[in-house]
Amino acid sequence: MKAGTKFALGAVLIIGSVGYLMASGIKQTGQYFLTPSELAQHVSTDPSFYDLGLKVGARVVRGTVSKDVASQTLSFHITDGTVNYPVVFKGLPPDTFTDSVEVVVEGRLQRDGVIHATNVLAKCGSRYEAVPKA
Residues that bind another protein (CB under 8 A): 3-4, 6-7, 10-11, 14-15, 17-18, 21-22, 24-26, 28-34, 38, 55, 57, 69-70, 72, 91-92, 94-98, 104, 121, 123-134
User: Closest separation between CB of residue 16 and another protein, Å?
Assistant: 10
Between 116 and 123, name the residue whose CB sits nearer to another protein. 123
Closer residue to another protein in complex, CB, 49/112: 49
CA–CA separation, 122 and 102 (whole Å): 6
24 CB-contact burial (10 Å; exposed 0-12 / middle 13-18 / buried 19+) = exposed
Whole-number Å distance between alpha carbons of 125 and 101: 7
